[in-house]
Each structure stands twice: as structure tokens, then as C-alpha cells.
A = this chain, B = another copy of it.
Amino acid sequence: MQATAFSPHDHSHCISSAIDHAQNLCTERGVRLTPVRQRVLELVWRSHQPIGAYELLAALAKEGFNSAPPTVYRALEFLGEQGLLHKLDSLNAYVGCCNPDTPHQGHFLLCEACNKAQELESQYINLALKLSADQHGFEIQRHTIEIIGTCKECLEKPNLLEPTL
């Protein structure tokens, strides 16, 4: 199986690749990846664990950035519009998008043991959503698809899930 957020990997590569990608994409689109926007994106990518707006705010504050809520919410709004991150509604938290070139909402696996999020783009799910909507004559604009549970790596550490008494 391919690498996922859950499996061990060189995460610094994820970060640098995401930032490079974002820079190129913003240049192409003629929009500005300003310092605060880039820094927010880097912070979001600091791990595969979705991060909350106020946690971002605290991190920015430590680094001398302006630290009022609108600062971070504006950056999140911009990054969201550019498809560079997703909001996870069930967590009120934000996670980087690996595939920002084409607009999409994505489907997410959220592990409650390690708190990491893995984005999927499942054609099974897309088809199932389409079929269900069609059955009701419903036209889909967007969706929130979050699958919550335990990832493979955490399942393989049973001692953490079922501590000995």
C-alpha cells in the first residue's frame, strides 16, 4: 500500500513539497502567498494532525506575527479558497491538502488514537454519494465526508487500545 498520513514517512518532505506546490500554484493563479499565509500553511502541515484556528494563532503569536483571530481566519479562508487545505467539520480543525490542483472536498479518515487525518479520493464513495443523491433528485454542491475510527498503525498496537489491568 502507498504511504499515508498514518504510516511512518519523511514528513519534512510533505511540508516542503506542499509549500513548493502552493508557491507555484499561487504564482500561476496570480494570487499572493503572503508571509502570514505561507506560515499558516506551514503550521497546518507541521503534522498530519488537523490543527485548530486558535492553536495556529498561538503559534503565530510566538513567532511575532500579528495574533488576532481575523489574521488566522483570513489566512485559512484564502488557503481554503485556493484548495490548499480542508476544514474538518467534525473537529473544527484544518488539514493540508495534498492535491490542491483540482477543486474537491475530499473524504477523510480520522484516527482517534493518533489524531491524524488521511484524505482519500474514493471513486466508490463519489459514486455512492451520486447514486444516493440521484435517487432523490438531489443536486450535490459539496459534501462533508469524515470517517472516524482507528487507523491500521494504531490497531497494530493493541496494548494502547486495551491497556492491561
A interface vs B, CB < 8 Å? 1, 4, 6, 89-90, 107, 109, 111-112, 118, 120, 122, 124-125, 127-129, 131-133, 135-152, 155
Contacts and interface: CB of A to CB of B under 8 A. Distances in A.
A123 to B, nearest CB: 9
20 contacts: A4-B136, A89-B89, A89-B90, A89-B144, A89-B146, A109-B136, A112-B141, A125-B129, A128-B128, A128-B129, A137-B151, A137-B155, A138-B149, A138-B152, A139-B150, A139-B155, A140-B147, A140-B148, A143-B145, A144-B148
A24 to B, nearest CB: 29
A87 B20 CA distance: 38
A51 to B, nearest CB: 17
Contacts of A133: 109, 147, 149
A136 B89 contact: no
B149 A141 contact: yes
Nearest to A142: B148
